[in-house]
């Protein structure tokens, strides 16, 4: 555990104390500590011991254990399986993992969804429940090598998808800066390509909750994407429905989309990017609430 402090170089290489915890009923979580103050006795998530069925409900225990702490994040992991969205602690769980070597957890029926057991409606189920939760992506290779995605190595030999990346819009390359940005949901996930994605609504970045002056005033969503290949599509999703698709056919694009429909408190928008080479990115949503003043 002490290696996280030994390898930490602010401004160059940021490390966190972390572990995977949870159970196969309520879902696994990636547990991340903001600093070096972490408790002992954290048990990694694993299949339940032979003979005891699903009696070890580690996820609720972890949520109760860290309730009230602002230096801990629990990230719902591979959210299309081993997950029950009834088990959610909003203050501890600001983001979820939308992609990993298990594939995409955005929504059922997509080409990156089919694998193994499917237990939930993925990320879109969480949003439909009005959970205000952002997204990242990860690997889950269990190799301890950030960013590695080598087919045939570790357990990648039986996983059809490559590892993903978590992208964070942080003010500084430090533990504090990255942790603060994750708490604010200023982040997105990719399928392993270094796609740069920005979204904003009236200068509020992805992950924001925006107070809107009146329901009839149009909302202008601004998007900018720098791809690693030509961009096949940039899709705006409102309340889990695809509402606009742009076809840039170029590696860079900037676009604006205006929603002129009457808005309701709780409306949300996010962006899905698909490149010509199949790589993708998903932004954290932006939520709109009607101002009461």
Query: What DSSP character marks residue 17?
Result: E
pLDDT reported for residue 120 = 80
From the number of C-beta atoms within 10 Å of its C-beta (0-12, 13-18, 19+), residue 189 rates as buried
Where is pLDDT greater, at 276 or 19?
276
Find the largest Cα–Cα distance for the chain. Answer: 59
Kindly state the helix (H) or strand (E) to which residue 151 belongs, with its residue range: none
C-beta of residue 137 within 8 angstroms of C-beta of residue 99: yes
The model's confidence at residue 13, banded by pLDDT at 50, 70 and 90, is very high
Question: Looking at residue 56, what is its pLDDT?
Answer: 52
- Percent pLDDT > 70 in the chain is 87
Cα–Cα dist 171/173, whole Å: 7
Model confidence, pTM: 0.92
pLDDT digits (tens, 9 = 90+) for 184-195: 999 999 999 999
47-69 mean pLDDT: 70
User: Confidence band (pLDDT; 50, 70, 90) for 53?
Assistant: very low
Q: How does residue 51 score in pLDDT terms, banded at 50, 70 and 90?
A: very low
CA distance 226 to 229: 9
Tokens of 242: 């695809």
CB under 8 Å, gap of 24 or more: what pairs does 69-74 form?
A: 70/34, 70/183, 71/33, 71/34, 71/35, 71/37, 71/179, 72/31, 72/32, 72/33, 72/34, 73/30, 73/31, 73/32, 73/34, 73/179, 73/182, 73/183, 74/21, 74/29, 74/30, 74/31, 74/32
Distances (CA, A) of 231 to 148, 190, 196, 226, 250: 24, 14, 12, 9, 5
Q: Which domains does the chain possess? A: 1-192 (no CATH), 195-293 (2.60.40.10)
3-class secondary-structure state, position 157? helix
51-65, 231-245, 256-270: which has the minimum mean pLDDT?
51-65
- pLDDT > 70? residue 45: no
Phi-psi region of 53 (alpha: psi -120 to 50; beta: other; left: phi over 0): left
User: Residue 290 — pLDDT band, cuts 50, 70, 90?
Assistant: very high
What are the tens digits of pLDDT across the range 86-129? Answer: 999 999 999 999 999 888 999 988 888 766 556 788 999 999 99
| Average pLDDT score over the chain | 89
- What are the tens digits of pLDDT across the range 59-82? 999 999 999 999 999 999 989 887
pLDDT band at 158 (very low <50, low <70, confident <90, very high): low
Does the pLDDT value for residue 183 go beyond 90?
Answer: yes
Q: Torsions phi, psi of 99, nearest 5?
A: -155, 145
pLDDT recorded at residue 142: 75
Name the pLDDT band for 16 (thresholds 50, 70, 90): very high
Residue 44 pLDDT grade (very low, low, confident, very high; cuts 50, 70, 90): low
Strand order across the 17-23 sheet = 17-23, 27-33, 72-76
The pLDDT, as a whole number, for residue 55 is 38
Q: What is the mean pLDDT of residues 175-181?
A: 98
The percent of residues above 90 in pLDDT, for the chain, comes to 69
Residue 25 or 279, more confident? 279
Output the six-digit token pair for 60: 């609720």
Structural contact between residues 82 and 28, judged by C-beta atoms closer than 8 angstroms: yes
Which residues, including other chains, have CB under 8 Å from residue 209's CB and lie 6 or more apart?
A: 132, 286, 287, 288, 289
Query: CA-CA distances (angstroms) from residue 133 to 21, 25, 92, 124?
Result: 19, 20, 10, 10
> Residue 256 class from Cβ within 10 Å (0-12 exposed, 13-18 middle, 19+ buried)?
exposed
Which of 247, 241, 229, 250 has its CA nearest to residue 270? 241
């Amino acid at each position: 555990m002490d290696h996280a402090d030994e390898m930490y170089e602010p401004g160059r290489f940021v490390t966190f104390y972390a572990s995977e915890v949870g159970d196969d009923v309520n879902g696994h979580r990636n547990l991340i500590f903001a600093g070096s103050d972490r408790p002992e006795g954290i048990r990694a998530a694993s299949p339940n011991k032979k003979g005891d069925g699903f009696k070890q409900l580690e996820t609720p225990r972890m949520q109760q254990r860290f309730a009230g702490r602002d230096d801990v994040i629990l990230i719902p992991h591979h959210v299309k399986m081993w997950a029950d969205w009834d088990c959610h602690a909003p203050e501890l769980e600001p983001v979820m993992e939308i992609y990993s070597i298990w594939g995409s957890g955005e929504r059922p029926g997509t080409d990156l969804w089919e694998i193994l057991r499917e237990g939930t409606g993925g990320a879109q189920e969480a949003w439909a429940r009005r959970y205000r939760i952002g997204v990242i992506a990860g690997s889950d290779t269990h190799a301890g090598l950030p960013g590695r995605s080598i087919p045939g190595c570790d357990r990648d030999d039986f996983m059809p998808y490559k590892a993903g990346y978590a992208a964070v819009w942080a003010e500084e390359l430090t533990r504090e800066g990255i942790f603060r940005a994750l708490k604010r949901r200023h982040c997105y996930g990719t399928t392993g390509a270094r796609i740069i994605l920005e979204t904003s609504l009236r200068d509020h970045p992805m992950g924001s909750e925006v107070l809107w002056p009146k329901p009839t005033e149009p909302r202008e969503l601004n998007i900018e994407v720098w791809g690693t290949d030509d961009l096949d599509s940039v899709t705006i999703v409102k309340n889990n429905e695809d509402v606009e698709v742009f076809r840039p056919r170029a590696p860079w694009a900037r676009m604006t989309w205006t929603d002129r429909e009457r808005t309701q408190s709780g409306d949300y928008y996010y962006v899905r990017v698909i490149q010509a080479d199949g790589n993708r990115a998903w932004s954290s949503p932006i939520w709109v609430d009607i101002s009461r003043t």
